């Protein structure tokens, strides 16, 4: 279950009950076009619906938020939800490293867990080892060379499965689990920013780019229509509407970085809300992510907000490219 306030990312699928209807093939087709998730109101069963978030995150003005205010908001969230038994998944990336730094600064105890694979070409264990030494913490390393196939009924999120396996095997299911999900909201934005710098703010092209990136698992960066299928075009139209909605926001860089955040964030957080574990996502907390999104864009880029909040934060994650687990799903 998701414990903290993440109203900007909440969505609900209708309960099919004990006598579900027939499968909605269009739902599964849409899910394939977006790499495991959907944006429409379609449900896996015909006759039922998904209800997306109703609170929109963007403001019509650039908010006057100080770095001190942002830091205090984050630390308040961590203190409100931390217990004497906490877990942080440490990936070697900027988000989880910043979160571990906050726990250390506030002197809150936590167990750091890091997943790795001995068969992956992109293992980041060596980066985590360096961060472990820098932060002076002990990390529990959990080897996972394959992720067993899980029959996700709604949205497919294999990293979630890997975390659940590690928690269970390490006997940490009774802890409160903190993730770096959502971060400062800057998720895979470099190509979109580069395109906008060259061609200007083009909602249609940016929408095509996002659908193509998601559907290809970030292998295809194209602003062209890649399919003639009606559901593919629906997905493109959805994100075009999102980018158009953000036209009201005066900071064009914020538009490019965050117009798709709520849809993708809903997907990233959804499966955590279906189990009995106690998950906390401090960066997705309503008060924190709203300020991140709507404050001036000159603070942002490469997740530098973390460095501005904590000038003693290690720069190790900024020295290495983020490559992900690279663990095969069986």
Residue 175 above 70 pLDDT? yes
**pLDDT tier at 202, thresholds 50, 70, 90:** very high
For tokens 């203190």, the residue is 79
How many angstroms separate the CA atoms of 270 and 284, rounded?
Answer: 12
Report, at the CATH architecture level, how domain 67-185+283-329 is classified.
3-Layer(aba) Sandwich (3.40)
Percent of the chain's residues with pLDDT above 70: 97
Start-to-end CA distance of the chain, whole Å, equals 26
**pLDDT tier at 171, thresholds 50, 70, 90:** very high
Task: Please report which residue ranges of the chain form alpha helices under DSSP H.
Answer: 25-33, 67-81, 94-105, 125-135, 158-169, 190-199, 203-215, 230-245, 252-258, 261-270, 286-294, 305-309, 316-319
Which residues, other chains included, contact 286 with Cβ-Cβ below 8 Å and sequence gap of 6+? Answer: 5, 6, 7, 8
Predicted confidence (pLDDT) per residue in 75-130, tens digit: 999 999 999 999 999 999 999 999 999 999 999 999 999 999 888 777 789 999 99
- What is the pTM assigned to this prediction? 0.94
Give residue 8's pLDDT. 97
How many angstroms separate the CA atoms of 171 and 126, rounded?
Answer: 24
Question: Where are the chain's structural domains?
Answer: 25-51+187-266, 67-185+283-329
Least confident of 26-40, 150-164, 195-209, 237-251: 150-164
User: Which three-class secondary structure state does DSSP give residue 278?
Assistant: strand
**Stretch 252-279: mean pLDDT:** 96
Which residues, other chains included, contact 167 with Cβ-Cβ below 8 Å and sequence gap of 6+? Answer: 87, 113, 173, 175, 177, 277
Give residue 118's pLDDT. 85
- Burial degree of 99 (CB within 10 A; 0-12, 13-18, 19+): buried
Give residue 150's pLDDT. 72
Least confident of 10-24, 78-92, 283-297: 10-24
Residue 325 above 70 pLDDT? no
User: Among 60, 79, 300, which residue's Cα sits nearest to residue 185?
Assistant: 300
How many angstroms separate the CA atoms of 29 and 12, rounded?
Answer: 20
**H/E stretch holding 113:** strand 111-116
Give residue 20's pLDDT. 73
Average pLDDT of the chain is 93
| Residue 223 phi, psi dihedral angles, 5° rounding | -105, 15
């Amino acid at each position: 279950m998701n414990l903290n306030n993440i109203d900007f990312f909440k969505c609900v699928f209708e309960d099919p009950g004990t006598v579900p209807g027939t499968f909605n093939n269009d739902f599964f087709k849409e899910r394939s076009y977006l790499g495991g998730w959907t944006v429409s109101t379609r449900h896996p069963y015909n006759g039922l619906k998904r209800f997306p978030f109703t609170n929109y995150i963007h403001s019509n003005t650039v908010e006057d938020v100080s770095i001190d205010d942002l830091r205090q908001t984050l630390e308040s969230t961590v203190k409100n939800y931390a217990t004497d038994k906490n877990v942080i998944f440490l990936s070697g990336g900027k988000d989880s490293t910043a979160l571990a730094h906050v726990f250390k600064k506030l002197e809150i105890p936590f167990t750091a867990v890091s997943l790795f694979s001995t068969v992956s070409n992109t293992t980041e264990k060596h980066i985590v080892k360096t961060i472990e030494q820098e932060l002076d913490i002990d990390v529990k390393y959990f080897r996972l060379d394959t992720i067993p196939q899980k029959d996700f009924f709604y949205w497919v999120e294999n990293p979630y499965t890997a975390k659940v396996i590690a928690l269970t095997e390490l006997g940490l299911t009774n802890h409160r689990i903190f993730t770096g999900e959502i971060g400062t909201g800057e998720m895979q934005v470099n190509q979109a920013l580069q395109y906008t710098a060259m061609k200007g703010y083009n909602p249609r092209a940016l929408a095509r780019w996002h659908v193509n990136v998601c559907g290809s698992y970030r292998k295809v960066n194209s602003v062209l229509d890649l399919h003639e299928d009606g559901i593919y075009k629906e997905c493109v139209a959805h994100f075009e509407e999102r980018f158009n909605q953000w036209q009201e926001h005066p900071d064009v860089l914020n538009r490019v970085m965050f117009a798709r955040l709520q849809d993708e964030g809903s997907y990233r957080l959804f499966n955590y809300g279906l189990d009995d574990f106690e998950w906390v996502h401090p960066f997705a907390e309503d008060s924190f992510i709203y300020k991140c999104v709507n404050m001036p864009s000159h603070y942002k880029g490469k997740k530098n907000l973390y460095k501005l909040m904590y000038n003693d934060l290690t720069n190790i994650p900024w020295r290495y490219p983020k490559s992900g687990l690279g663990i095969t799903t069986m």
